[in-house]
Structures are given as C-alpha cells and as structure tokens.
Structure 1
C-alpha cells in the first residue's frame, strides 16, 4: 500500500501514530548522509518498532501490504537535535515581570505548545539547558501525554551568588529577606562543597545533564555579561561529581577568562562563547571541548535591544554589545578547527524557528553540510548517544523530510513538512 504526499496529507491525524505499529517504507527522492555530509540519490527506508530496519538504494520492491510513504521531491534527513533550548518560556517585554505573577503551572502549560512547535520544525531531540519545567515536560512526552521532541533536561542551572542563574537577581531587599539566600538546593553555590551538593541535587531531581553559568549573561538582571563567576576548583568539582552520575556539563560562557576556567576544568561544551580568543580555541581543541554558538539568540537580542522597553535598561547594553558578536565568533571558531554542534538558545527567540540557525551558520561561512552535521551526527556525539543522528540500520527512526536539497540551498531547512520520531509520524506534507 502506497501513500503519496497528497494522500498522506488526507489521512486522519489520529491514524498517523498507528503507522509505527507495522513496517513502514519511506521512499525518499534524496537522502542526507550525516557521516559524509553528502546528499545521496533515491533511497528507501524501512521502519519497524521505532527503529530503522533497513536502508535500501533506489525505490526498493517490498513485500505486498507494506505501508509506503512516497516523499517525492524531498530530501530525508536524520531528525535534528537542538542542544540549547529553554522550553519553559519565551522572551517578551513581559518576561521579567511575569516571574513575579505566574506560577510554575503557567509555564508548564506554555511549554506544551513550545514543544509541539519544536517537533513540527524537525527537531526530534533537544537539550534543555535550564528550567525547572523541562524534566516534567520530558516525562510527559515520554509517557505519550503530549507531543514534543525527546528532551535531555538540565533542570535548574548551577550559578554562583549574583551569577547569571541566581534566581533572586533583581529582587528588592524585602523580598530577598523573605525568601532568604538561595543555596545549592536552588542551584546557587559558593564553594567546592556547595558545587558537589548542587550536582547531587540535580541528580535527585532527575536531571539528564548539568548546566553551569561560567560567566555573566545577557538577559540576567545584572550588570556584567562576561565576568567569570566560578573558580576553576568549583567547576572541577562540578565536572568530577557529574562524572560520578554519568552526566556531561555544558557551560554558558561569554567572557574569555570564564571560558578558559571551564575548558581547563573539563566541561563538555561551551555555549555562546562570545569573546572566544585564539588561546581559548587552542585549549578547546586540546581538551576536545565542543562549541555550541547559538547565533540565533545573539542576533535576536541585538535586534530587540534597539526597541525601547523590550529589555530592562540594565540588560539592554549587554544585549546590544554581546549579541551582535556571536556570529563572527562562530565563523572564527569554524575556521580555527573547533568542533561545533548545533544550538539556538530558543526561549530567547521563538520556539519553532530553530532551523533558522542553519541559515545563520552558513552566512558565517560554515558549509551547509557541516551545519547539518552539527545538528545530527555532532549533536549525538555531544549527548553521548550512538543510536541517533544518522539514518542507518538499527538506529532510532527519527527521520524528517523537506522539499529541495538543503546542502545546495540552506533555506530549504525552513520547509520541513514530514516528521517521524521513534517510528511515529507527527507531520505530513500539505496536499499538493
């Protein structure tokens, strides 16, 4: 039984998950090979029980009764992974005041819509780097209660007092007195012992990865966007304790000194990396540290900094100064041989527009094929996974498709119209 693009679009949405129960053949006009970075010719992908059972060249002849989905004119790719998102919110002029008015359940309800938009855009996995909602959203998705990408959740980011992820930044003295100073339970540390306790608390709460804010940040209610905020000893204690629990550590970092400390202490990835120097690049290559640029977030905040009232005045100059530099840093890092993986920092920008990061990467001089590898093969390596990021026999059936050839024209990434995660179809093309 064959379903064309047109007939597939007419199928009832309630029937789509049923496709995962029996073998399904996807007939792709082109296939992106994430290992070589090349777009290959016509292939047939046979999916069964959430896995890729076989990958066959051409339009393979299959046993009678096999459900076939004809993806004419389309390139099939491994589902993308965004390694830096925040599903619990989305930037707006009201973001800072909402923290005093909304309850966690409000953010949780919003996150359901954000998750669905992200999946529909072709991102079958994300790493959520900071937010108390994300572990719960992860569990709801895994239980089939809501639709969204596979989430690797950091939970609460770890900061120092007054640092980028200190939840009491911007509170007045009366409120701070009532709440009391946050500690390791709340993800705020000031010593090596605190650092170990904070990681263990994240383990207790069910995190999948550890996130630290190694320097100041753009959107926190604080003056510095790049000052170092941990000692090397504190970061090393976090990294060593994280290893005890099988965790990797992602380090938000804009400033040079904070980046150096984080790399030397053994973090897995540097996020943003605005003021990355040649020395930092050499250290990253020496230690095998990944770089996740988040160009989208940089461009977004730089643009919004021009609008009166969008950001608090203490944030506005940081957004204008730091945000505008990230794209050039990504270009230098690629030319310098630093390993790059894909991340947007969505939640700063709008969820569902994640694929625009590919366009910005190519604008920076990163080849389209490498940009696509950064969200497939490279992202899987950052996560320590060997069952996703490529379309090969035995791997997860996370498969997306889009009209055109994204290596020849990177703008094609904005047109994803077929999404399969774990063998279940979540998006089909509009009727043609």
Structure 2
C-alpha cells in the first residue's frame, strides 16, 4: 500500500493523448495525486512503487454504460459469480446496470465495498468491477421485458420474480422515482418496446404510454436523476425523446435514419448508447466477430467455457426489415451532428451473443470500423463521455483528484485499437488497488 508512480508512459487521459507522462496515485485514498504530461518526471516520492511505462499506454478504466447483472438468462446451476469479475480483468472498471432486482444490486455493492476494504487490509488485489444501477426499470403490467424473460423457460420461480417488478401508471410514477432514489438508484430507466423490431407482432404486448413516460421523466428530473430509455424502433425512440429523457439505451434497427430525428435528440441534448453488440445478435449478423472476441477472451482473459459458447450464439429474433446497417447509419449521422455516443453493450450473463467485459471491445471496434469514429473517439465513448453524460464526476478521466481507476496496456490502443484486447492489458487498478 502507499504511492504508485507510472513513468515514461503514453497517456490517454480520457480526452487527449500525451506521448510521455508520469501519473502518481495513492493506494490508500484511491485517488490520483498528480499527472505530469510534459515529460517523464524523475521526482518520485520515497518508498513509492515505480512502474516503467515505456512502450505502454495508460488509460482511464473503461465504462460499459449498458449491462444487466441479474442472472435471469442463466440456466439453473450456472456460475453467477463472474458477473463483476470478468469485466475487471478486461479493463472495464465500471459497469452500468440497466434493470435488475434491487436486492441483487445491494448485495453486489456490499461485496464490492467489502472487497476494497479487504484488499487494503491484506495488501491483496480487488476482484470486482464497480457498479451503478437504475435498479428496476419503469416497467408496466405485462410490458417489456416481462414477456421476453418468461418466453424461454417460465419456471414458477421466474414467474414469481417477474411478478415483483413494477407495474407503473402515471399516478404511481412519482412514488416509483422517490422509492428508487431512496434505495440508491443512480438513474432511472424507461421501457418503450412496441415489438416493431422483433420477430413478434407489433404491439403484441402492452406498451407504455407517452403520458406515463413523461410522468416518470418529470418526477425523475425533479429528484435530480438522469433518465434513459429502452427503444429499438424509430417510433419508440421518438416517444422516449418526446418524454424528455436524457438518453437512449439502444439505437433503432427497424429503418434507416432520417434527418428529422436529429432535432429530437438536440432538443433534450440527449445521448445514445448504441449497443451494436446485442443488436447484431438480435439481427443474427456479425457471427465472425462474435467468435473472434469469444476466442480472445477465452484464451487471454480466462472467461469460462459457458461464457465463450454463449458469446458465439445469437438471439436471432428480428423483424424482417431489421439490420445492423441501420444502426451504423444512425451513428454516422449522429456523429456528424455532434450527438454524444456513449459505449454500451446490453451484455448480461447468459444473454446470447454477449459477454460482460469482452463485448465492450467488439462494440468499440464497430464504432471505428463501421461508424467512422477515430480510435480516440471510440475510447472517449467509454471513458470521459460516459462519465460526463452520467454525471460520474469521480472517474472517466486521468487527472488529479479523480479515482485511480486505471488501465495499462502494452502498445498503443489510441493508434491501434486492437492493442486493447490482443493480450496487451498488463495492469488494472480500481481505486488505486491492483486487479491485474
């Protein structure tokens, strides 16, 4: 424990790249003490651990802005313990849950806190990524995602679980928000799904009304909580935006974008979390990439056989007109108009086509290869942009006073993004504590 200094390292601070820098952080307080981007400083505190960063790049810990930590997609007896372990090994120090049982979230957060305390006491490593959550989404009676969760294997236990989820009306929206804030929700999640993009008849399940969504947003904003919304179709996206939400947790795949969607985003200063990984699983595309990243994660980062297999499978339940190309086109348009893109995958344990942690690499790669982003833009989308848009003022940027959530990579992912996942992660710190 004590002071750690990383010298002679290329630094991506969450915004810009500096060729030779020195970063000093305190393991005890978990914060960054200083950042010298002018040179490789020789001013090292006594008894500090010094790491030579030559030939390496230091980045903020990555953030996946759309994950589910529940185990509802796992078969009976499957290992649920890796939900927060695997992402940390992959350089993802924070994950944002977008709908899970509050009891599960509170249990995970207690485990995270205990793990940090134990690591400080025993001079050992931390094992769990940090967690933010909406707790339950603002679900309605019979609405999304209740039917889809029950579609595959509706055991009595699962039916009982889903029955505990909220069934909101405009009249109960304010109480829902107040209750969630008191339980520690970090933001509020809307659900707007008309099944237009799915292999189900449009409007075949109950759909939240614009009145309800506006009521939830109004109550959330009054409580100083950010609001994001699920929508996979253009029509549902418009309803979420017109409700006043701050961001979308997917982009749409049912049609090509048209310029008239831009003013709706601009009016709210809304952002988008594309979730190209899970959308391509929905549309049964990009199988070669799923297999590639599953193989890398299994070989170099220790994901288990079940997760590897799950990452290569697909949801495959799209409506005929849907394609991932619509999502690519939308993100290209949004970049042109300055709409913020926040990286997220919609990964969940057992959700086909996803793996919490390694799926973020695939997401970032698609931003560069298909959506026109530079490597630096892609890295901003999972660090500083996420922190800024979600109001996480303590992370996402490498600067004095921020959390020492850091990632050390061999090579230069700011120039060659592949360095991030091709066996190059040599150090991960969370709150200044070693994970790798």
The interval holding the TM-score normalised by the smaller chain is: 0.7 to 0.9
Q: Which residue of 1 aligns with 2:416?
A: 409
2:357 equivalent among 344, 352, 372: 352
Alignment pair present for 1:256 and 2:234: yes
Secondary structure of 2:7's partner? strand
Q: Which residue of 1 aligns with 2:114?
A: 143
Q: Which residue of 2 aligns with 1:30?
A: 10
Q: CA deviation at 1:251?
A: 0.3
Cα distance in 2 for partners of 1:229, 1:413 equals 40
Q: CA deviation at 1:167?
A: 5.8
Alignment pair present for 1:239 and 2:217: yes
Q: Which residue of 1 aligns with 2:335?
A: 334
Task: Answer yes or no: is the 8 Å Cα contact 2:273–2:341 preserved in 1.
Answer: yes
Q: CA deviation at 1:285?
A: 1.5
Correspondence list, 1:258-337, <5 A: 258-274=236-252, 275=255, 276-303=257-284, 316-318=317-319, 321=322, 323=324, 325-337=326-338
1:86 equivalent among 62, 68, 81: 68
1:115 equivalent among 53, 74, 84: 84
Cα distance in 2 for partners of 1:154, 1:375 equals 18
Q: CA deviation at 1:33?
A: 3.2
Cα distance in 1 for partners of 2:324, 2:337 equals 21
Secondary structure of 2:407's partner? strand
- TM normalised by structure 1 equals 0.79
1:380 equivalent among 387, 399, 407: 387
Task: Answer yes or no: is the 8 Å Cα contact 2:92–2:129 preserved in 1.
Answer: yes
- TM normalised by structure 2 equals 0.78
Q: CA deviation at 1:88?
A: 2.2
CA displacement, residues 172-204 of structure 1 (integer Å, 9 cap, x when unaligned): 9x999x979978x62222x21133333334335
Cα distance in 1 for partners of 2:204, 2:56 equals 43
Cα distance in 1 for partners of 2:273, 2:392 equals 17
Task: Answer yes or no: is the 8 Å Cα contact 2:84–2:128 preserved in 1.
Answer: yes
Q: Which residue of 2 aligns with 1:12?
A: none
Q: Which residue of 2 aligns with 1:361?
A: 367
Alignment pair present for 1:400 and 2:400: no
Correspondence list, 1:151-300, <5 A: 151-166=131-146, 170=150, 186-189=165-168, 191-216=169-194, 223-224=201-202, 229-274=207-252, 275=255, 276-300=257-281
Q: CA deviation at 1:226?
A: 11
Distance 1:393 1:279, change over 3 A: same
Q: Which residue of 2 aligns with 1:9?
A: none
Unpaired segments ≥5 residues, structure 2: 119-125, 288-312
Number of paired residues?
384
CA displacement, residues 325-350 of structure 1 (integer Å, 9 cap, x when unaligned): 32332223222321111111112401
Q: Which residue of 1 aligns with 2:52?
A: 70
Distance 1:311 1:303, change over 3 A: closer
Secondary structure of 2:112's partner? helix
